[in-house]
Amino acid sequence: MERRGIRLIYSSLTGNTEKVARAIAEVLGIEPLNVRGASPQRFEKVQLLFVGDGVYALLPSKAMVRFLRALPPLRGTKAALFGTYGSLPTQFRLIRRILGEKGAETIGEFACPGQDKATLGLLRRGRPDEEDLAAARAFAREMARKAGYALPESSS
């Protein structure tokens, strides 16, 4: 079957997950795609799909849920989930379930705290920080290795 390499899709209401998305995409040598304006049909036959989101009242963003439900069948696609959270990364459960219904296999998850902009930025201040982003880059390399995808040399 023809396969189309790696894609990264993210949703980020206050910018925290976007920082992680950019760090991961840089390692992979691809452009991060914001869920707003992305076309689900362009995700057919992707080999490795990174999906990133924050958590809002225990769930992923509505925009991400809508996008994932609109994806074509993903048999043979491996999925790597990442995100940020205030207290617990509970967004992954529904994301994993929808991807599973599409036929994708989730092979790993990465989460780190994100600064809470809703409480004047007092909680989780400065997160994700450099250490979080370094861990996100290591996760990206690990997922690529697990999916049998060769990364550009500059990122290893």
Ligand X SMILES: Cc1cc2nc3c(=O)[nH]c(=O)nc-3n(C[C@H](O)[C@H](O)[C@H](O)COP(=O)(O)O)c2cc1C
> Which residues form the interface with ligand X (CB under 6 A)?
12-17, 54-58, 84-88, 114, 116, 118
Which phi and psi angles does 97 have, rounded to 5°? -65, -45
Closest separation in Å from C-beta 66 to ligand X: 16
Helix (H, G, I), strand (E, B), or coil: what is residue 107? strand
Closest separation in Å from C-beta 57 to ligand X: 5
Residue among 6 and 86 whose Cβ is closer to ligand X: 86
Residue among 8 and 55 whose Cβ is closer to ligand X: 55
Closest separation in Å from C-beta 156 to ligand X: 27
DSSP string, 27-54: HHTS--EESTT--GGGGTT-SEEEEEE-
Residue among 32 and 86 whose Cβ is closer to ligand X: 86
Residue nearest to ligand X (CB): 114
Helix (H, G, I), strand (E, B), or coil: what is residue 133? helix
Rounded CA separation 111/116 (Å): 15
Which phi and psi angles does 56 have, rounded to 5°? -130, 115
Closest separation in Å from C-beta 73 to ligand X: 28
Rounded CA separation 105/99 (Å): 7
For the record, the structure tokens of 29 come out as 């040598």
Residue 54 CA, chain-centre distance (Å), reads 10
Residue among 76 and 88 whose Cβ is closer to ligand X: 88
Residue among 1 and 57 whose Cβ is closer to ligand X: 57
Closest separation in Å from C-beta 108 to ligand X: 19
